[in-house]
Chain A
Amino acid sequence: MTLHLIIRTPHSSGIFADLLDAFADGDYLLLIEDGCYAALPGAAGLDDAVVAGRIGVLREDAESRGLLARVAPSIEIVDMDGFVALTERFPKSLSWF
């Protein structure tokens, strides 16, 4: 089980397509930094069934970008404490860049 971290916007690179290929059962995706833009409804194809219900966005980073009220309902809002809690739950993490 792997925690995937994305810091890029969905428009800046092809990593979202690569991520969807690599995403396995039991994995979780946390959007941080500019990755938060992918939390907007329909922004990055993340409503795909493969990842649906297993995505979070970092509250502090979404808030600092003015996105907090616009996060897609299927995406969890996770604070910094929750970020650490995810790393407790997932022994491995993978940062995409």
Chain B
Amino acid sequence: MLSYALLVHAAPYSTQGALSALRFAEAAIARGHRVETVFFYHDGVHNASTLMAPPQDEVHLGERWKRLGETAQTALLVCVAAGLRRGIVDGTEATRHDLAQYSVEPPFELTGIGQLVDAVLTHDRLITFPP
């Protein structure tokens, strides 16, 4: 059994990358591995938006990530610097920046780039899903 970190640069629905990463995560778990961390970076931070509302007959990427976080105990880490630039903020950051709304809730978690470095150093595999 290996531990995996996935690095997601791809925004939801813009390119295939986010869905590729999700399918990879599900396939890795089905093979008995642990997907310990998914790190959302650059435009990939949009995957964490709790305000996502795609048509009902389409894949709901936000819900699928959330299910992964809840069922596989995968840490869903969102780059705080990339998120702040794009309106992807949790309640704490919204308060800190005097914003009226927030768009990130658990199991997604705003975090720094150091967490990505930590994942690279401590996990067996890092797989990058480009934009």
Contacts and interface: CB of A to CB of B under 8 A. Distances in A.
A17 interface: no
Q: Is the interface of B mostly helix, strand, loop or mixed?
A: mixed
A97 B24 contact: no
A84 B31 contact: yes
Q: Is the interface of A mostly helix, strand, loop or mixed?
A: helix
B23 interface: yes
Contacts of A95: 127-130
A33 B2 contact: no
Contacts of A97: 9, 130-131
**How big is the A interface, by class?**
10 to 19
Contacts of A91: 124-125
Contact of A84 (B17, B28, B131): B28
Contact of A93 (B15, B20, B128): B128
Contacts of B31: 81, 84-85, 88
B86 interface: no
Contacts of B81: none
Contacts of B28: 84, 87
B62 to A, nearest CB: 21
B125 A32 contact: no
B33 interface: yes
Interface string A45-71: 000000000000000110000000000
Contact of B127 (A80, A85, A87, A96): A87
A93 B126 contact: yes
A96 B17 CA distance: 13
Nearest to A85: B31
B100 interface: no
Contacts of B127: 5, 87, 93, 95
B33 A84 contact: yes
Given A7-B17, A97-B131, A84 B27 contact: yes
Interface in A13-62: 32-34, 60-61
Interface of B: 2, 4, 9, 15-17, 20, 23-24, 27-28, 30-31, 33, 124-131
